Amino acid sequence: MGFESLTEKLQGTLKRLRGQTRVTDKDVKEFMREIRMAFLEADVNYKVVKEFIKTVSEKAVGTDVLESLTPGQQIVKIVHEELIALMGSKETKLSFSASPSVIMMVGLQGAGKTTASAKIAQLLKKQGKKPMMVACDIYRPAAVKQLEVLGSQLSIPVFSREPGVSAVNIAKESIKFANSHMHDVVIIDTAGRLHINEELMKELEDIKAAVKPGEILLVVDAMTGQDAVNVAEAFDQKLDISGVVLSKLDGDTRGGAALSVRAVTGKPIKFASTGEKTSDIEVFYPERMASRILGMGDVLSLIEKAQEAFDEKSMGEMEKRLKTQNFTLDDFLSQMQQVKKMGGISGLMAMMPGLGSKVKEEDLDSNKLVVTEAVIQSMTRKERINPNLLNASRRKRIAAGSGTTVQSVNTVLKEFEEMKKMMKMFMGSSGKFGKKGLGNLKLPF
């Protein structure tokens, strides 16, 4: 997830503030200055920053806050609430009014429309829908082929026509095809340009008039900062978009787009693309994103990822082993692939309160999985069942046997302990994985 720089700066500021038992007007002004600088460095729209600071300042200098027993935490709470309001207060779901429901994907070339189309199609398929995709990007080389390859990988049909057929006619014909083949959602991947021009907008307006989409989703590159806001304004003016999809949010993004686009356009962010895989897309929850940015974690998303990655049988077996303290290194190895599906150790830690900025390079990439497997398989059965037996000489022997180093062995054992702690946090007093396990996690206020 992006926002690393912004999160680090805000956490530093709010950490000092949170511990203060007495806060003056002067203190509030100083903290607001630091927050303003952090936002501007994150390329947040200047007008948005100005309004945000004004709102927070007015609430933070109130008598109820300054004279409360925990004024520092009260101000942190205000920042958190206003950050949520800035991004839309609550999640906005897709609208499915007609059958088939038509979703029109628009945006500049390179923003990630085609990949986003496939990601949303896969997400809807998991929800029980029967989507199909339409290749209306007839200008970019290999655009149609790219969509067809993605469709084949996901077992989602792609409607396309031979060269020479206009994008508007392809869109029209796709609706007839969807009706005759019982598809309840049609996702139209339209063409983009390197910049906004009349030709692009005219074609998009014609497609909109022809198929009357229930949703027009603008895909914007989160790495472009304030430029994404300018693009969103232009598309909204011409097409009246219904929502935004933030792509490349896992890249070196400063967060400006996510914090600005909703406030400037008034249109909600509906999805966030968090990686290159087709499964790397999330419904955009403003409250959860605000918590991540402020280092408060995102436990609800974490639990949802766990429930999706682990089937009931494996979860039941894991619960039993954790309760009886029998979770072994063999169990750890068998769960590595599921953890990778959830975003790896660093992806999970980024959602844990207070841990997001502490884990940078701990992700379980494919090469690391090979190393982990070699290390664990070089242990005796007794050692895998009881890691406490692994003294210095045993670790040296395992490193030699696996072709790795003692440091690699230590890293595997450290990750094993981290996973055990993480799994226990998911479990409530009933010993079941789920939202009741949130009782074990303390938020900063």
Whether 311 and 426 map to the same domain: the answer is yes
The pLDDT score that the predictor gives to residue 3 is 64
Query: Is 421:327 a contact under the CB 8 Å cutoff?
Result: no
Whether 262 and 303 map to the same domain: the answer is no
Query: pLDDT per residue over 125-138, tens digit each?
Result: 999 999 999 999 99
Whether 112 and 254 map to the same domain: the answer is yes
Beta strand extents in 124-266 (DSSP E only): 131-136, 158-159, 185-190, 215-221, 243-247
Whether 258 and 145 map to the same domain: the answer is yes
pLDDT score of 68 more than 70 = no
Distance CA 293, CA 82 (A): 13
The pLDDT score that the predictor gives to residue 308 is 57
Query: Is 301:351 a contact under the CB 8 Å cutoff?
Result: yes
Whether 305 and 227 map to the same domain: the answer is no
Whether 278 and 319 map to the same domain: the answer is no
Whether 61 and 154 map to the same domain: the answer is no
Best CA proximity match to 339, nearest among 378, 365, 370: 365
pLDDT score of 359 more than 50 = no
The average pLDDT across 275-299 equals 77
Highest mean pLDDT among 96-100, 164-168, 275-279: 164-168
Which of the listed residues 245, 267, 289 is the one where a domain comes to its end?
Answer: 289
Whether 144 and 266 map to the same domain: the answer is yes
Distance CA 335, CA 373 (A): 11
Distance CA 388, CA 383 (A): 8
Neighbouring C-alpha atoms within 13 Å toward the C-beta of 56: 28
Whether 168 and 270 map to the same domain: the answer is yes
Query: pLDDT per residue over 142-200, tens digit each?
Result: 899 999 999 999 999 999 999 889 999 999 999 999 999 999 999 999 998 888 888 88
pLDDT classification of 425: cutoffs 50, 70, 90: low
- Specify the CATH number for the domain of residue 173: 3.40.50.300
- Specify the CATH number for the domain of residue 45: 1.20.120.140
pLDDT classification of 341: cutoffs 50, 70, 90: low
Residue 95, in any domain of the structure: no
Query: pLDDT per residue over 35-62, tens digit each?
Result: 888 888 888 888 889 999 999 888 877 6
Domain span at 59: 4-86
Residue 149, in any domain of the structure: yes
Whether 14 and 59 map to the same domain: the answer is yes
Helix axes 4-18, 286-293, angle to 10 degrees: 70
82-110 burial, b at 16+ Cβ within 10 Å, e below that, comes to bbbbbbbeebbebeeeeebbbbbbbbbee
Whether 278 and 318 map to the same domain: the answer is no
pLDDT score of 331 more than 50 = yes
Whether 133 and 233 map to the same domain: the answer is yes
The average pLDDT across 387-394 equals 93
Cα-Cα end-to-end distance for the chain? 23
How many domains are contained in the chain? 3
